[in-house]
Structure 1
């Protein structure tokens, strides 16, 4: 995953295109991935209210930290990719992807 232009302008859409669509599709065939993503989603649900703005702010901060650390998505599940997949899943489940607004 390369942090191309647009990641900070519309992070949900950027993340879905960069990682989310493929990872969410993978969940259909991999029960272990479902369990790991569900645990990350539960951690996020417990940490703060799940509204569009709060989850978007969290995502921006998390992506910024990953960018500074030089993290790259290798295609293998690791803690950052599981967390990002959980954000995608939550954004989709809560309808945060349905419009053209930033974040």
Structure 2
């Protein structure tokens, strides 16, 4: 079982692709918005509040459990799961949620 820190560390490497994959950036942005909504971290503010690290971790682990059930393997490109996991990692880094993954 992966921790939120391990997920974040594994998928932050995908951030480098943002520079040359604008469609990937757009997809990850949509996933960020959806994860925020699912966690209740969205709202009318111009700058939404940081998501709760524990709730985000629980969500991420549940998502990974679902991927395990379908025997998902990370593709070379960008599928739904890669976009979702990259979005989770982006939230962790954007809001500095875990001390062990701070840059």
TM-score by length of 2: 0.79
Is 1:40 the counterpart of 2:31? The answer is: yes
Runs of at least 4 residues off by over 3 Å: none
Quote how far apart the aligned CAs of 1:22 are.
2.1
Per-residue CA deviation, residues 57-77 of structure 1 (Å, 9 max, x unaligned), is 000100111012100101211
Cα separation, partners in 2 of 1:64 and 1:98, compared to 1, 3 Å: same
Quote how far apart the aligned CAs of 1:28 are.
2.2
Equivalenced residue count is: 91
TM-score by length of 1: 0.79
Structure 1, gaps ≥5 residues long: 1-5
Quote how far apart the aligned CAs of 1:47 are.
1.5
Superposition RMSD in Å: 1.6
- Further displaced range: 34-43 or 68-77: 68-77
Q: Find the residue that maps to 1:96 and give its secondary structure.
A: coil
Per-residue CA deviation, residues 6-34 of structure 1 (Å, 9 max, x unaligned), is 51xxx22221343x132111112211111
Residue equivalent to 2:17: 26
Per-residue CA deviation, residues 29-87 of structure 1 (Å, 9 max, x unaligned), is 21111100000000111121311000000001001110121001012111111001100
Residue equivalent to 1:63: 64
